[in-house]
């Protein structure tokens, strides 16, 4: 059973991911989480505090997902890495769609709020290092630079998929493999 703070943050992610930043209010979070009025405000006095709490919560959730991937054996080929990243993107665009939309909304808020941007960069550095290890395993001579490019490309694919939708199957592996081949050859 999740604690009350986690209930608040889960409801906040739902509001943010389903309705966007304009809908994110303490009252909306209380309503979405079926929480007594004022609960969200008790944990997060201001909207900025709520946004910072959501960012930390998203990091926890995504870190757990990435830790699962990081625990897998390192990929041995560009195609294997493209397959793993493609599977992750499908998860983020499908079953984890609301979480992904909330993450993108927080990214946009970080463009205007220094405190969020600092936290985002700290977490991103960890992600770039992890992805860099996998890129080094498939032959990248500049793994951290290439990790940043790969993850930016993946976020672009996600944003396009989430914003524009599509009835076709989301299969990013071929374009990911092409990018990875170009990155590995760019040494």
Q: Are 11 and 25 in contact (CB under 8 A)?
A: no
The rounded distance, in Å, linking the Cα atoms of 10 and 178 is 37
**Each residue of 115-155: pLDDT tens digit?**
999 999 998 898 888 889 899 999 999 999 999 999 999 99
What are the pLDDT digits (tens) for 144-156? 999 999 999 999 9
96 DSSP 8-state letter: T
Going from the N-terminus, what domains does the chain have, and what CATH number goes with each? 1-45 (1.10.10), 52-185 (1.10.357.10)
Whole-model pTM: value is 0.87
């Amino acid at each position: 059973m999740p604690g009350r703070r986690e209930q608040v943050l889960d409801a906040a992610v739902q509001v943010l991911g389903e309705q966007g930043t304009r809908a994110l209010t303490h009252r909306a979070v209380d309503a979405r989480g079926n929480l007594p009025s004022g609960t969200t405000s008790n944990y997060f006095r201001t909207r900025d505090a709520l946004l910072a709490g959501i960012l930390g919560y998203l990091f926890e959730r995504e870190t757990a997902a990435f830790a699962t991937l990081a625990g897998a054996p390192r990929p041995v080929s560009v195609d294997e890495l493209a397959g793993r990243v493609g599977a992750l993107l499908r998860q983020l665009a499908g079953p984890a769609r609301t979480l992904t939309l909330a993450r993108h909304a927080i990214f946009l808020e970080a463009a205007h709020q220094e405190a969020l941007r600092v936290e985002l960069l700290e977490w991103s550095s960890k992600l770039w290092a992890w992805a860099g290890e996998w890129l080094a395993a498939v032959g990248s001579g500049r793994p951290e630079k290439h990790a940043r490019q790969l993850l930016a490309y993946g976020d672009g694919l996600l944003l396009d998929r989430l914003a524009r939708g599509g009835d076709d199957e989301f299969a990013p592996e071929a374009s990911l493999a092409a990018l990875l081949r170009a990155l590995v050859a760019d040494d």
